[in-house]
């Protein structure tokens, strides 16, 4: 049996999610941006492996013809009729020192135009507690919208687990550690040794901020 690597599984899931959410497959560049793969050649390597193992088909090496095996064109979800997305607010996250892990049940929901979060549906909301991200325009009491993904580009704002606690910070992978950098010049970064950083440490990338007036 041809087993998939973790990265190949993530690429396949990215393609499936795009078809379900948007009605069409992603481009190579969109896959790379979503998974933090810098070159389209790197993305192509994973696509060729998925084809070789029988999990993916495409025509003439074109990305918009990507189709997971067993997933027909009619499996795409219809677009929301009013273009709006209802985002569940599932708890709070620290913009300061990490706080207790996020509660995974919806406290409330916020309905926004889906295009404000890049058109994706795989988004959840968190209430910010603390002031470590104020120089990025994220304040205590704000809501952040987070796109679920396990990898993130360097310098992006992420929600990450430090041990069993969650925090919102800039993400900088370094040689020996992960640096979670605040956007507050009065606060120090959180340094997580590479040995303590797990594949599931990133819960998602912040794609929007909502503030109640």
Catalytic entry in 111, 132, 185, 194: 132
Phi-psi region of 50 (alpha: psi -120 to 50; beta: other; left: phi over 0): alpha
Beta strands in 84-181 (DSSP E): 84-94, 99-100, 108-113, 123-129, 143-148, 157-162, 165-173, 177-181
The C-alpha atoms of residue 45 and residue 38 are separated, in whole angstroms, by: 12
3-state DSSP assignment of residue 82: coil
The C-alpha atoms of residue 95 and residue 164 are separated, in whole angstroms, by: 15
Does residue 169 have an active-site annotation?
yes
Does residue 39 have an active-site annotation?
no
Angle between helices 40-52 and 28-35 (to 10 degrees): 100
Cβ atoms of 93 and 129 closer than 8 Å:
yes
Cβ atoms of 67 and 18 closer than 8 Å:
no
The C-alpha atoms of residue 94 and residue 184 are separated, in whole angstroms, by: 13
Catalytic entry in 169, 185, 194, 201: 169
* Cα angle, residue 36 at apex, residues 40 and 31 outer, rounded to 5°: 50
Q: Would you name the residues annotated as active-site residues? A: 132, 169
């Amino acid at each position: 049996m041809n087993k998939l690597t973790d990265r190949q599984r993530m690429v396949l899931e990215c393609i499936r999610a795009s078809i379900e959410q948007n009605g069409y497959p992603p481009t190579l560049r969109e896959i790379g941006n979503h998974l933090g793969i810098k070159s389209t050649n790197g993305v192509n390597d994973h696509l060729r492996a998925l084809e070789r193992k029988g999990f993916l088909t495409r025509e003439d090496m074109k990305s918009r013809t990507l189709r997971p095996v067993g997933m027909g064109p009619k499996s795409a979800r219809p677009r929301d009729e009013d273009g709006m997305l209802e985002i569940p607010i599932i708890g709070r996250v620290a913009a300061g020192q990490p706080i207790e892990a996020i509660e995974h049940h919806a406290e409330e929901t916020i309905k926004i135009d889906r295009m404000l979060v890049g058109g994706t549906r795989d988004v959840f909301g968190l209430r910010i507690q603390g002031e470590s991200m104020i120089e990025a325009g994220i304040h205590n009491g704000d809501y952040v919208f987070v796109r679920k993904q396990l990898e993130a580009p360097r310098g992006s704002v992420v929600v990450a687990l430090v041990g069993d606690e969650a925090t919102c910070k800039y993400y900088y992978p370094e040689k020996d550690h992960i640096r979670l950098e605040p956007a507050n010049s009065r606060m120090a970064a959180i340094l997580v040794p590479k040995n303590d950083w797990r594949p599931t440490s990133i819960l998602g990338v912040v794609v929007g901020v909502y503030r109640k007036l």
